[in-house]
Structure 1
Amino acid sequence: MDLPRFADVVVIGAGAVGAACAYFAAQAGLGVAVVDRSSIAGGTSSACEGNILLSDKEAGPELALAQYSQGLWRGELAEFGHLWEFESKGGLVVSARPGTQANLTLLAARQRDAGIDVELVDTAGLTDYEPHLASGMAGGAFYAQDAQVQPMLAAAHLLRLARGLGATVHTNTRVTAFLRHGDHVTGVVTSKGTIAAAAVVNAAGTWGAALAGLAHVSVPVLPRKGYVMVTEPLPELVRHKVYAAEYVDNVASSDAGLQTSPVVEGTRGGTILIGSSRERIGFDKSVNPLVLAEMAGKAIALFPFLADVLALRSYSGFRPYCPDHLPVIGPDPRAPGLWHACGHEGAGIGLSVGTGALIAASLTGSAPALDLVPFAPERFDSLRQEAHA
């Protein structure tokens, strides 16, 4: 399909976040064109687990966005849930030591105050949730609202729904520059031609910083690498998403070095997904078997039966990391006409639909459901100025 000469909004990025932005913008009556440098869900959305989690988030702006997104996944988008294999499996966070359980208890109390459905679980109660869990755990917490989707299906079907509302999607189309009128962004220059637009949305994931640079603005989105292992099919041996309590600390960490924490969950197809790892090493795609071995060992410590299970494959991807662990969402006053929807790190699938709805509201002049100030693109400027003072 040829590029349109004009669109109300150009969305750059055909992953889950870009797809959600396209869907909600098209639903709001805007003419939408989506462009992507590669394929649909060709980046982070093809190399993740599809988490829709509340359990790993402290009370604050990100949790509020996660709750808003949950409402959309389970409400407005519920009729499409079968398309992306929405599974409300629940999450079980486990503690190996009493001290860790005490910290988890405090976190659960803060989350409960913010409206999260969380139930503390004692040692004896853990096997009611997961019969094959290792013995000797100190306790845990169960989060009934945690869910999962197949992320590539989510991106593909959101774009299909957007096309049904008039949007166009153009893959293998690289943005090389922005059309400008003074400081204003007025469209995109691509490898296949130009599109004039009233608004451009940067939903380029780990490439969000490079794309912002084309508009001479800065958003500090960096790639954070993570691996996932996939086992042979073992239906129903792991019932929920299960992870060790230290996973929450790793999610919130800004350490560039390698961090691993066990995350184990079954899929609708019967395979078991094993994570997780985090490290900032640029876009290095090489496979490090030592990381996989460390992940496997920690997963076996949670579920001893995994010691005798065949791992069929592993894959890795790059999560779009921001230093303050909040995504960049909203209009950029430094380059009027440019909006950002990137930097969601490992929460992008779950937060995608909330982000898309907020962007669509902002584009159409409606009041967004959440305050966008905590996610403002320019929030890092003051920190950068202080660093150079």
Structure 2
Amino acid sequence: MEDKTLKQKVVVIGAGIIGTSVAYFLSKKNVNIVLVDAKDIASGTSGACDKAIMLQSKKWGPALELAIQSATLYKDLEQELQQDLEYRQGGGLILIDNEQDLKVLQQTVEKQNSIGLNVKILTGDEVRKKNPYLSEKIIAASWCEEDAEINPMLTAFAFAKAAHKNKAILRLNCEVLDLVTENNRILGVQTTHGKIYADSVVICSGVWTNQILKTVQLEVPIIPRKGIILVTEKLPKIIDCNILSGSYIVSKLQKEQNSIPYGIGLAISQTKSGTLLIGGSREFVGFDESIKTKIIRDIAKQAIHAFPCLDNIHLIRSFAGFRPYTPDNMPILGEIPSVQGLYIAAGHEGDGVALAPITGKLMSELITNQKIEFDLSPFSIERFLESTIS
């Protein structure tokens, strides 16, 4: 059978971990790819986040099912891309320090196990056998062996390098100014370096998605949710898996954060070099990049509450990142019905790292009209259509 994808040309907007993944998986199908970014690879959210591929932090249902498939793809990604991505399947813990959160966690774990994720509850003593540095205040934790970690910046660069090897064209420092359409059909994009014509365009712009969509009078409910991460001095090995607190999961899912100021909860991991990445906070403050001293102190207190040994270590810096939040905490994936050939893969919030490979794979299959063995309807823009598209 003749391969009709050979002549297809696709512009991918956004060179974060989602956009580079989409570009890579499309490039494997002999599609002519142009990857465009206003700045550089991983210069936005993907360069200002942690490294967790957490499954047990996902709500049971389509999002968790998607994450499980993505985690499977990650296992062979280093070999496939021929790059060191600092991938490690070391498991993950969600720490509990009160009985109320423990009851909620027990219900969550039961539902996660029902759809095939292997999660179990550990007692405080059992979790301290895994990590003796943990505080006596931790009364329980959930443990998932399938949780893993990866360096998101290395991964985005590796995706882009592999796509380029497959003849994809990279246009960096090239801002998209307008979507070029005719009769409700995408024709390409207008950039600061001229027009790029294409059969399809995929918007992978995260928190900047609406800046692109407004050129065709569209809007989606993706807004920036700021998070702060602290970086410590290099330390001996203290943490060998991803660790979250129960309060961090609550703050992730809350629409109203009055009960948890600044949405603060613990998310901590240790890098290959020995530094700790300690988060985090979740705020709706637009694109305000400022960092309040109080937030730094409150995040540090959360870390010390779980790991008393961190009381006297040095922080070397802090940074803010903007997560693309949606009201139901799930990304928007698929074609935009009102503009033929225009696709969107955005709104992953803090799950962009975990969902990057499966997002690229599914979007590449969708755009090239191949059979997709996953129901994308829960992620369709149509769930927001009535309230967001004018």
Per the TM superposition, whether the score is higher than 0.5 is: yes
Q: CA deviation at 1:384?
A: 5.1
Match of 1:88 in 2: 89
Match of 2:184 in 1: 183
Instruction: Work out the CA distance in 1 between the residues paired with 2:11 and 2:236.
Output: 42
Match of 2:287 among 271, 275, 283: 283
- 1:219-298 matches, within 5 Å, as 219-255=220-256, 258-298=262-302
Instruction: Work out the CA distance in 1 between the residues paired with 2:211 and 2:104.
Output: 39
Instruction: Report the secondary structure of 1:380's partner residue.
Output: helix
The alignment's TM-score, normalised by the length of structure 1, stands at 0.94
Match of 1:46 in 2: 47
* 8 Å CA contact retained: 1:256, 1:280: no
Runs of 5+ consecutive residues of structure 2 not aligned to the other structure: 1-6
* 8 Å CA contact retained: 1:235, 1:269: no
Q: CA deviation at 1:240?
A: 1.5
Q: Does 1:355 align with 2:359?
A: yes
Instruction: Report the secondary structure of 1:110's partner residue.
Output: helix
Match of 1:173 in 2: 174
Q: CA deviation at 1:168?
A: 0.8
- 1:56-135 matches, within 5 Å, as 56-75=57-76, 78-80=79-81, 83-135=84-136
For 1:38-72, what per-residue CA distance to the aligned partner results, in whole angstroms no more than 9, with x for missing partners? 11111000100122110111211111111111111
Instruction: Work out the CA distance in 2 between the residues paired with 1:255 and 1:211.
Output: 28
Greater Cα shift, 250-259 or 97-106: 250-259
Instruction: Work out the CA distance in 1 between the residues paired with 2:379 and 2:254.
Output: 18
Q: CA deviation at 1:20?
A: 0.2
Instruction: Work out the CA distance in 2 between the residues paired with 1:172 and 1:69.
Output: 30
Q: Does 1:366 align with 2:352?
A: no
For 1:125-150, what per-residue CA distance to the aligned partner results, in whole angstroms no more than 9, with x for missing partners? 01111110001322111111111111
The alignment's TM-score, normalised by the length of structure 2, stands at 0.94
Match of 1:152 in 2: 153
Q: CA deviation at 1:363?
A: 0.7
* 8 Å CA contact retained: 1:7, 1:195: no
Q: CA deviation at 1:24?
A: 0.3
Q: CA deviation at 1:77?
A: 5.2
- 1:368-383 matches, within 5 Å, as 368-383=372-387
Match of 1:25 in 2: 26
Q: Compute the RMSD of aligned alpha carbons.
A: 1.7
Instruction: Work out the CA distance in 2 between the residues paired with 1:384 and 1:11.
Output: 23
Instruction: Report the secondary structure of 2:374's partner residue.
Output: coil
Q: CA deviation at 1:381?
A: 1.9
Q: Does 1:336 align with 2:347?
A: no
Instruction: Work out the CA distance in 2 between the residues paired with 1:136 and 1:249.
Output: 19
Instruction: Report the secondary structure of 1:315's partner residue.
Output: strand
% same residue:
33
Instruction: Work out the CA distance in 1 between the residues paired with 2:119 and 2:79.
Output: 22
Match of 1:308 in 2: 312
* 8 Å CA contact retained: 2:81, 2:162: no
* 8 Å CA contact retained: 1:9, 1:198: yes
Match of 2:3 in 1: none
Instruction: Work out the CA distance in 2 between the residues paired with 1:365 and 1:86.
Output: 31
One-letter amino acid of the counterpart of residue 262, structure 1? L
Instruction: Report the secondary structure of 1:317's partner residue.
Output: strand
* 8 Å CA contact retained: 2:225, 2:283: yes
One-letter amino acid of the counterpart of residue 105, structure 2? L
Instruction: Report the secondary structure of 1:83's partner residue.
Output: coil
Q: CA deviation at 1:117?
A: 1.6
Q: CA deviation at 1:109?
A: 1.0
Q: How many residues align?
A: 381
One-letter amino acid of the counterpart of residue 165, structure 1? N
Q: CA deviation at 1:119?
A: 2.1
Match of 1:3 in 2: none
Instruction: Work out the CA distance in 2 between the residues paired with 1:186 and 1:46.
Output: 31
